[in-house]
Amino acid sequence: MKGGGVLGAAISGFRATRRMSGSVVALTLALLATPALAQRTEENVNTQSNDAFGRSVGNDRSGLYNTIEVRGFNPSEAGNVRLQGLYFDLLDLVSARLIQGNTIRVGLAAQRYPFPAPTGLVDYELALPQDQATLSVELDSAGSLVEGPGANAMFKLPLQGKRLGIAGGVAGREALRIEGGRHHFRTYAGLLAFRPADDAEFLLFTSKLFTLSDEARPTYFPAGLNLPPKLPRAKFLGLDWTERDYILTSSGLIARFSLGGGFRVEAGLFDSLRSSAAFADLVLGVTPEGQIANRIGVVSQGDKDKSLSGEFRLIREWQAGPLSHRLTASVRGRSKDRLFGGSKQLTIQPRTGSGTVFDTPDNWPEPAYTLDPKNEDRVRQIAGGIAYSLFWEGKASLDIGISKQYYTKTIDFADPALPDPVARDRPLLWNVSASLALTHRLILYGGISRGQEDAIVAPDIAVNRAEAPPAIRTRQIEAGLHYAITPQLGLTVGAFSIAKPYFNLDPASRYRQLGTLTNRGIEVSLTGRLAPGLSLVGGMLLLDPRISGEAVANRLIGERPVGQVRRRIAANLEWRSGGGKGPFSVDLVFESYSSRIANAANTLSAPPRSSFDLGARYRFAAGKAKFVLRPQIHNLFNQYGWQVSPSGGFTYTIRRYLGVSLLGDF
């Protein structure tokens, strides 16, 4: 397909739209076809973000949301991931040597996107070879929220003009963890692109990630209604025998080609394999003075997940006067097999008594243990659907989709005394969304959708840890306005309501459904150019999460979910010399979080926190090579804060540190 864009349908559908000067439709809906830059020294998440709802480019990210948190939910664990616009049952991470970046698609960014998910999509973009050979090499002292020296290289090499090319890269880091200690990270990826014609593209890729000798970070669970004491950051207080190894392999094939007569095919087949040896370090009953009631370790080895997934689409596009039509027939599915359980909970006692959180337990011996046999979890799912999209240039759009799901989940417990459950679901899912240009600057949008997604796996502290509930049904309604303040600056204000079953720990520490969680919120995005050389990606989320159901009515839990914030603000501000074309730029990143509920009874909260990151870029050339020198100070004022997991575990935020990178395109 010409251009190798993120989503062929969106590119062709909006080609005319992008030519409209100052139109609100052009400004807002063009984000569905953001082009990839040819060289990494030109990457800049601030200038490549079309809204403040989440974008990642290279090592930087912007916006309110990311791959693990969108509107209070985790889209990656829910299975709401797309690669080049196609369904991909991603098990965890994607190698950065394979990916150009990702975009969070919610609200207006999900318009004209077939079969959207109610809780948002993570749309990954492959780093594709172009018609120019490039080699990018980066040396740095810190990566994304982790210290330690690292290096990576990426290449794009045309072998036969734009018809045939390869791309890929390697990376490694000797990481200094946030909580102290080290681990080793390695990754590599390769991609082959074959374009036999302007309207045909075939992509074949593979990637592998290794995280080795990663010792478990302690997680602290408070006693009573008091916060844990302030712990020394970057000092390892864990157990030196809890080294974890993690390997993730992802491979795939993508095909896009025209059949003539307005018909085309888009298809992808993806394979993912994850294996790990995992430990958890849980510190229980922590008092404000640092005393602990108990410390347990959870050990599990031989965990393995394997998923084969993909999607086939037959697309028909046609023009009737001013109206553009697109009809998509899709079949997608997955076959997922998982080995889990068999873990052991180990009670750990310090040699000198009850111990405190400040102890350095490097010399605590590893208890003897024998692991139990693994359980097997199998998911088979297939869905067939039809989506229709209508686009009236500069006026309106309408999207309708319907799909039938066939879902089966079976669990084979190793313990013969336990029954082996089988869950089946055959929901009919649908979505309707529309946009209307009220004026040349103002657009109104809205939508309703019903979906199905995976529930989150039980946490380590649960008595049924690592169990995965069957898929759950979700629903969402949203509406909003986008106003083009100028052709380069846009304001979006939206409201949403999302409902899904709520899973968490009951008073007996069993992970199960406790009710229904409804997240109602307002999100605001102000993004674009404020003045020549000055750009802003700013957003705010106001969230009202509430649980309803029998557990709340019987006062087993409170009505607020653990770990969710009520307010978040994120802003990236950048000034570049020469009116946006000079070699020097300065950027400031601000993030602010409200307090968050920290226990099921809603009687303890983690305090609000804010942080600033200050960075700069200096661009220069040496011969034909282009370079960017980038220093960044993370957590500029060294603010101390707490993060809280949905199960009530506390971990502290990163300390202040300086990272410096040198990136060159050759």
Q: Which residue matches tokens 């309501």?
A: 497
Q: How far is CA 40 from CA 133, 196, 658, in A?
A: 12, 27, 22
How many whole angstroms separate alpha carbon 262 and alpha carbon 304?
43
Distance of CA 510 to the CA centre of its chain: 27
pLDDT of residue 8: 35
How many whole angstroms separate alpha carbon 66 and alpha carbon 564?
15
pLDDT of residue 350: 60
DSSP structural state of residue 212: E
Q: What is the largest CA-CA distance in the chain?
A: 83
pLDDT of residue 13: 35
**DSSP characters for 607-639?**
PPEEEEEEEEEEEEEETTEEEEEEEEEESTT--
pLDDT of residue 239: 84
Question: Which among 170, 173, 192, 193 is positioned nearest to 183, based on CA atoms?
Answer: 173
pLDDT of residue 489: 97
Question: Contact 536/513 with Cβ under 8 angstroms?
Answer: no
How many whole angstroms separate alpha carbon 506 and alpha carbon 512?
7
Question: Contact 326/13 with Cβ under 8 angstroms?
Answer: yes
DSSP structural state of residue 458: P
Q: How far is CA 384 from CA 87, 430, 600, in A?
A: 12, 12, 39
pLDDT of residue 358: 85
pLDDT of residue 7: 29
How many whole angstroms separate alpha carbon 164 and alpha carbon 499?
46
Instruction: Domain 8-665: give its CATH superfamily.
Output: TonB-dependent receptor, beta-barrel domain (2.40.170.20)
pLDDT of residue 180: 82
* Predicted structure pTM score: 0.89
pLDDT of residue 238: 86
Give backbone dihedrals phi and psi of 9, rounded to 5 degrees, phi first.
-65, -40
pLDDT of residue 278: 84
H/E element holding 492?
strand 489-505
Q: pLDDT means per 10 residues in the chain (666 residues)? A: 34 33 35 50 92 91 94 92 95 90 92 88 94 92 78 94 94 86 90 96 96 89 93 88 89 96 96 91 92 90 94 96 97 96 83 71 78 94 97 94 97 92 96 96 96 92 91 96 96 97 93 96 97 97 97 95 96 96 97 96 96 97 95 95 95 93 95
Domain boundaries, the chain: 8-665
Give backbone dihedrals phi and psi of 19, rounded to 5 degrees, phi first.
-85, -10
Question: Which among 131, 130, 73, 147 is positioned nearest to 104, based on CA atoms?
Answer: 73
